[in-house]
Structure 1
Amino acid sequence: MATKISIELLIMVLNNVKSTQDLYSSLLVNRFWCKVTIPILWEIPFGHECRMGYIELRKRALCIRTYISCMDTQARTLLTQNGFDLSSSPPQVTFDYPSFVHKFVINHLVYFISIYSPLIIPQQITGSDQDNNNNENYYEIVIDKSRILFCEICKLIINRCEFLDCFKLVGVNLCYEKYYLSYSDSIGSILKLPGAPNVFKKLESFTSMVGKNEPIHLLYESLALICDNILNMNLEFKSYSQMQLFAKLINAQKRLENLSIVARSNLDFNSFLWAIIGQKESLRSLYLKLVSFYHFEVKSSPIGQFISLQDFYIEDCSGLYRSGSLFFASSLTQLSSFHFRQKCREYPQEFIKKIIEAANINLKNIRLDLISAIPYDIFSAILKYCSKITELTLHILCSEQVILILNNNFNELRKFSFGCGKRFDIDKLLCQMVENVPESIETIEIKMGIFSSDSLKNFFKEWCRKGGGGTKKIIVKCKDRRGLFTLSE
């Protein structure tokens, strides 16, 4: 006799299935499994990602056919009057599919409509002598009429679903750009649709990476008025007006936890940075790329402390040597993970050092991706303040610095990654390392030149012996493979 599984347990299992194909397979088990799987499949009908071939995209685009079947008589009549052939979408459905939507990815809807619309709009313009012109005119008509289908699907989802917890607005490939531009006004006014404020009120995750598209920017202003409980934001912008709208949206939030920003460095970010500081009590992770601190000014009142911020990733930002940025660095007292990446050779030593000093023993993971050697001040700060470090990644160290780290009583260090310069004996370094490597280290990752197999073998043997037989791993990254020993050696 088959064992019955509770609906709660089955939902937990299927919610953790990542493969769409596996979810489709679960539909075929029995009616009970089908009834549980359908809401999970249609929670995000347009998919998280569209990195697939055209054939697969065409299959996924059939969800548009299902949505048309879910439309009421008025919407179907509107589509028919605009030339859509709805014979493949009869007004009969087993489930109320739009009601299951909780995650809405706009760019994917653009993909699917652009693929499906030509299939249901008959090509009425013909003529053997003007095929090229006819095709061009036909697709201009398709793009224009697809706007109507886009609006009706947005209305359908807003009217039927109870809430949206994830909303993504990402740019599209060049071949779909005409469709995207055609829908700009409709996208910008989505929150003006009847019922939209209630549906978006529970929004928890928002992503926007669409650049300078002024009609869409109206959406951000509406979001700031409606949504105040967003937990995760992933924002990319290229204009000052767009940045100001995002600043208002950030200011409106009560419990923002994760914020990712990619921007241009030549903007005045003063008000935007203060919007970020306004979230200092709830923010847990912060990613900043190409953000400028040049115009950042500290007000009469102090910044205070980011009491919840644990992960800070900063990449290719400018103006970090100015006094305002140093006050900002001093406020990051609770950091446990700090990743700094910069492509130019000159980088803000004082800013990095301030962060290390402020976070102190709270720092567990440090990664400095720099293209030049680690300065003495930064290196000394790590040795002095980061006694509880568990993962450390530093590029271009000298052999003396490597040994100093191993000798610094980092008793909780589990992973150590470093790169070596070219002008020293790597075999000798391996011999010195094995004498000083802490027992706690489980993984060593080295970017270095040529060394002998005997040195590596002896290092590994002694390291494992000192480590009490625990799991040990060494990762060697070598660009120059000339003379590198063979695997058998």
Structure 2
Amino acid sequence: MTSFLPPECLEKIFLILYNPLTASTNTATKDIHACTLVSRYWCNVSTPLLYSYPFQHFANLNSKSQQKDVQDYYKLIRTLLTCIPQSEIEEIINSKILPNEPISFSLKSSPTFDYGTFFHGLQLGSIFSKVHIDHDKIWMPSYIPTDTIPIRLTFELYYSIINHLVKYLSEFCKNLTILEIKLFTFNDENVQIKLMETLLNSFFDDSKENKLTGLKSLYFAISGNAGTQLMTKEVSNLSKFYANLSSFTKNLESLHNGKIISLEQANALSSLISSQKRLKSITLSQEDFFYSFTRTHNIQVFEFYNVVFNTLRTQSAWLEKLEFTLLSFQYLDQESLDSLCSLKNLKELKIMKCKFLDKLKVWTTHSHLSGLQVLEFTPDNYTQLHVDGDWLNKIFQFTSSSLKKLILDFKREIDQGFQLIRLISLHLHSLNYLVLPKLYPTELITILKSCIELVYLSTGLLEGGQWDQNLPSISKFIPNSVEKIQFREIHFLVDNRTFELFLKGCINKGVKLQSLEMTGKKKLDQKYYDIANQFGVKLIS
């Protein structure tokens, strides 16, 4: 008699091979997919894991992705479409092409599982943005005779099918923990994507089980200039969705809102934030900042954000991560500023291409930011960096004992940033993770002398720095704690002898260097890899 491990034990073993919450690439599914092929019993236990968060593996899929990843994505769409009754797909096709002369379809085989019921994560933006007509031979169900479809109707027809797929997924998924929504509009007036209407009907129908009680992460964005083109009804449905979510979902930990396009939406978002028990991460982004002003006056948009900022105080006891992207603080009111100052447990702050940061000076000098551990900053206007530098100076002073990770992302021009290098070396001695713009050798040495606890260092190398002469001597100042170095934007070739002396100096000093990444226009030949191997360092280029 054959003995089996209980499914609960088998599932725990499979989670060691593949944890869907931490796997970031499609390659990570290889082992768990192999488990589905062992036996019917293993297949029944491993398949729900494989399809729990299927779209997250393709989040970074683009035109430069490997062909296999592209094909795997379209195969996933095809697999999900097979779960929809064939008659429903036939009805869509015939209504678009020949309503009076229906096409005769071959019968499809039934899918092994109803895969949508396994979903715990639903990413609805990628379905619309990544489905292309060029790949219809892969993702369209095999029983559909694509050759008979007129080219003039393909775009409209295919998105009608994808619309129906979204309806299926939102109706049959259960116990969602991650929901990502991205609203799209297309130039073709015949293509109507009523995403919010579909989600309202699927998630908040009184006759259906509430699937969003356990939701932990919500990501919402509006693609491109869609905010100026969305129908009034769709905008209203978005606000209703947030309002309903406030009643049904109380345990969000992460919230990303990309773009606010109406006061109604701002009020609904505020209600959603204040209704949560322990919201740990909030991202507010006016994505495609300038597009959003084509029909909405600037001051009005800023007022929308004041409404939301005022609500942040409701999460002051829990909020650990805050990110602002493409926002302007020009019209930040006192109540909003007081709300920011109430955030006493922030550990991570990201300021990405925001305007009028001088309005936040009171906040940055507030004692509640003294526990900040991570700061990521990208300036909006490089020519006004001195203003942002003053703002950063205040943060550096008040986080000198707590800040562990600093990322400064800007293209250095002439002497911009020199003051920041001095301030870092003056205040931030406890950093273990540091990303900087291009540096000269003397500036890098200044940083290395001061930041003696570094584990990771990333910087660009400025041309004209005589790196062939200076790089070997720089190795003397690398802290022994450094495990990974990244030299970016190298537009010149460092001599392989210089490269060898640098590594030799690091290893002889006792640096724990494990990997060295060198990226730029110049490609490294095999000699550099051989040298790195001699010192037990992994070279990446």
Q: Could you say which TM-score interval applies, normalised by the shorter chain?
A: 0.7 to 0.9
Match of 2:181 in 1: 169
Pair 1:101 & 2:116 matched:
no
Deviation at 1:382, TM superposition (A): 1.9
Distance 1:25 1:237, change over 3 A: same
Distance in 2 between residues matched to 1:42 and 1:383, nearest whole Å = 48
Q: Distance in 2 between matches of 1:446 and 1:120?
A: 52
Residue of structure 2 equivalent to 1:228: 250
Structure 2 residues not aligned, in runs of 5+: 62-68, 291-297, 532-541
Establish whether residue 430 from structure 1 lines up as the match of residue 471 from structure 2: yes
User: Residue 413 of structure 1 aligns to a residue in which SS?
Assistant: coil
Alpha-carbon shift at residue 204 of structure 1 (Å): 1.0
Tell me the C-alpha RMSD between the 2 structures: 4.5
Equivalent position to 2:503, from 455, 460, 484: 460
Using the aligned pairs only, state the percent identity.
Answer: 19
Give distance in 2, aligned partners of 1:450 and 1:146.
49
Query: Which of 187, 196, 201 in structure 1 is aligned with 2:199?
Result: 187
Question: Following the alignment from structure 1 to structure 2, what is the Cα–Cα distance between the partners of residues 451 and 95?
Answer: 56
TM-score relative to the length of structure 1: 0.77
Contact 2:355 2:380 in 1 (8 A): no
Determine if contact 2:127/2:162 at 8 Å carries over to the other structure: no
Q: What SS does the corresponding residue of 2:357 show, helix, strand or coil?
A: coil
Q: Distance in 1 between matches of 2:402 and 2:216?
A: 28
SS at match of 1:245: helix
Do the aligned partners of residues 325 and 222 (structure 1) sit closer, same or farther apart at CA in structure 2, a change above 3 Å counting? farther
Alignment partners' CA distance in 1, 2:522 and 2:29: 42
Deviations 1:244-275 (A, max 9, x none): 53333223222122333331275303223333
Secondary structure of the 1:416 match is strand
3-state DSSP of counterpart to 1:199: coil
Question: How far apart are the structure 1 equivalents of 2:141 and 2:277?
Answer: 44
Instruction: Map Cα deviations across residues 285-326 of structure 1 (whole Å, 9 max, x no partner).
Output: 33322011111123395744544432222211111122x354
- Write the mapping of 1:341-356 to structure 2, written as runs, cut at 5 A: 341-342=378-379, 344-345=381-382, 346-347=384-385, 348-356=388-396
Q: In the alignment, is the contact (CA less than 8 A) between 1:229 and 1:255 conserved in 2?
A: yes
Q: Deviations over 1:342-388 (max 9, x none)?
A: 25322211221222222222111112122234545533432233221
Secondary structure of 2:211's aligned partner: helix
The correspondence of residues 4-43 of structure 1 with structure 2, limited to 5 A, is 5-15=5-15, 16-17=17-18, 19-20=28-29, 22-43=31-52
Displacement of 1:11 after TM fit?
0.8
Corresponding residue pairs, total: 468
- Name which of 372, 394, 414 aligns with 2:455: 414
Task: Point out where structure 1 has 5 or more consecutive residues left out of the alignment.
Answer: none
Instruction: Give the whole-Å Cα distance in 2 for the aligned partners of 1:441 and 1:145.
Output: 52
Pick from 396, 403, 407 the counterpart of residue 363 of structure 1.
403
Counterpart residue type for residue 354 of structure 1 = K
Alpha-carbon distance in 2 for matches of 1:157, 1:113: 25
SS state at 2:503 partner: helix
Residue among 217, 220, 229 paired with 1:208: 220
Following superposition, the deviation at residue 67 of structure 1 comes to: 4.3
- Is 1:321 the counterpart of 2:358 in the alignment? yes
More divergent stretch after superposition (342-351 vs 11-20): 11-20
Retained in 2: the 8 A contact 1:326–1:350?
no
Residue 247 in 1 paired to residue 284 in 2?
Answer: no
| CA 68–46 in structure 1, closer or farther in 2 if over 3 Å, else same | farther
SS in 1 for 2:82: helix
CA contact (8 A) 2:377 2:409 kept: yes
Instruction: Give matches, 1:54-453, under 5 Å.
Output: 57=74, 60-68=77-85, 88=107, 99-107=117-125, 136=152, 151=167, 153=168, 156-157=171-172, 161=174, 163-171=175-183, 181-195=193-207, 198-210=210-222, 211-212=226-227, 213=230, 214=232, 215=234, 216-217=237-238, 218-237=240-259, 239-241=261-263, 242-263=265-286, 264=289, 266=298, 267-268=301-302, 269-299=305-335, 303-304=340-341, 306-322=343-359, 324-328=360-364, 330=366, 331-342=368-379, 344-345=381-382, 346-347=384-385, 348-372=388-412, 373=415, 375=417, 377-408=419-450, 410-447=451-488, 449=492, 451-453=494-496
User: Does structure 2 retain, via aligned residues, the 8 Å contact 1:262–1:290?
Assistant: yes
* In 1: Cα distance, 2:199 partner to 2:176 partner: 15
Structure 1 contact 255–279 (Cα < 8 Å) conserved:
yes
Question: 1:193: how far off?
Answer: 1.7
Query: Deviation digits for residues 391-425 of structure 1, max 9, x if unmatched?
Result: 222223344332322333x3312233333444443
| Alpha-carbon spacing, 1:237–1:48, altered in 2? closer, same or farther (3 Å) | farther
Query: Match of 1:165, as an amino acid?
Result: T
The one-letter code matched in structure 2 to 1:157 is F
Contact 2:364 2:394 in 1 (8 A): no
Which one has the largest radius of gyration?
1
Give the AA of the match of 1:284.
E
